[in-house]
Amino acid sequence: MNPSYVFRLAQPMRKRFSSLVVAVPVLLLPAVLFSLFCGLHPAVAWAETVRGRVTLSETLQNGRRYAGYWRVENGSVPISATTNPDPPVVIMSDVKGGNAPEAKTFAVDIAGFSVNKPTLLVGVTSVVEIRNSDKVPHDLSIPGQEALMPLERLAPGTLRRQKFPVPGNYEIRSAQYPHLSISVIVIDHPFATVCDAKGNFKLPDVPDGKATLKVWAHGQILHEQTVDVQNGMKALQIDVASSSPVDSE
């Protein structure tokens, strides 16, 4: 066979082979990059929805935190059970990410020796405005944290503003009437919510991994547990049977 003839046939095939070698990696590039990404980089932290239901014991459900009678301007009046108790709050801690809630001003009214908003879930630097619509004064403070909110008398018809610059759980109390209190939960993350009337809750976009779930009710943390947030996790059933506070330190 003529060598020159063989060479003329081999030249086009060499070009086709070169084109094939270049084309194959281009077609496989997405798969190759995906494999390298999964193999050389840490796993992506996906977000899940944590949902469930909080069931309080019968003692906690009636909403009565203090027994007894309190003296008011028209005699001794019993502190009756709350007909519409304040729902518990679910808080996820040890979780990173998410946008902090916006700072706002929350109005609370004291009337009939009770408050219309006994629990507030607020962002850092939010302000709580407390108006006294009763005919008697109320001496309000945060016991144990008087440096933040000292004991001051709120006269009838007047307003007091209190700012909360640091995340934490705060309890504004009346010195004369122990049942009159305002729970203020200050958070710097979006992983907290108030349960509905049946105790159901839902927290969207919680990152995968271990987290600590806390239940706030009756002015204190009453339940705490570790939760493994993962894909396809089942709804949680949380039973709070005691009014003993949980040491959250």
What per-residue confidence (pLDDT) applies to 106?
98
Least trusted range by pLDDT, from 83-97, 103-117, 181-195, 209-223? 83-97
Indicate whether 178 pLDDT > 90. Answer: no
Q: Is 249:93 a contact under the CB 8 Å cutoff?
A: no
Taking CA atoms, 63 is separated from 88, 151, 219, in Å, by: 11, 26, 11
Kindly report the pTM of this predicted structure. Answer: 0.73
What per-residue confidence (pLDDT) applies to 37?
46
What per-residue confidence (pLDDT) applies to 30?
53
**99-188 is classed CATH 2.40.50.140:** no
Q: Is 96:208 a contact under the CB 8 Å cutoff?
A: no
Q: Residue 168 corresponds to which tokens in the numbers above?
A: 């934490």
What per-residue confidence (pLDDT) applies to 71?
56
Q: What is the pLDDT of residues 213-229, one digit of tens each?
A: 999 998 889 999 999 99
Indicate whether 50 pLDDT > 90. Answer: yes
| Averaged pLDDT of the chain | 80
Q: Which fold has domain 46-98+189-249?
A: Immunoglobulin-like (2.60.40)
What per-residue confidence (pLDDT) applies to 85?
60
Contacts of 64 (CB under 8 A, 6+ apart): 79, 80, 81, 82, 179
H/E segment holding residue 9? helix 3-40
Share of the chain above pLDDT 70, in %: 68
What per-residue confidence (pLDDT) applies to 72?
56
Q: What span, in angstroms and rounded, lies between the C-alpha atoms of 80 and 88?
A: 20
What per-residue confidence (pLDDT) applies to 58?
78
Which one, of 54, 73, 86, 44, lies nearest residue 181 by Cα? Answer: 86
Q: What is the pLDDT of residues 69-94, one digit of tens each?
A: 555 555 555 544 444 467 899 999 98
For residue 246, what pLDDT band results from cuts at 50, 70 and 90?
A: low
Q: Please state the domain extents for the chain.
A: 1-29, 46-98+189-249, 99-188
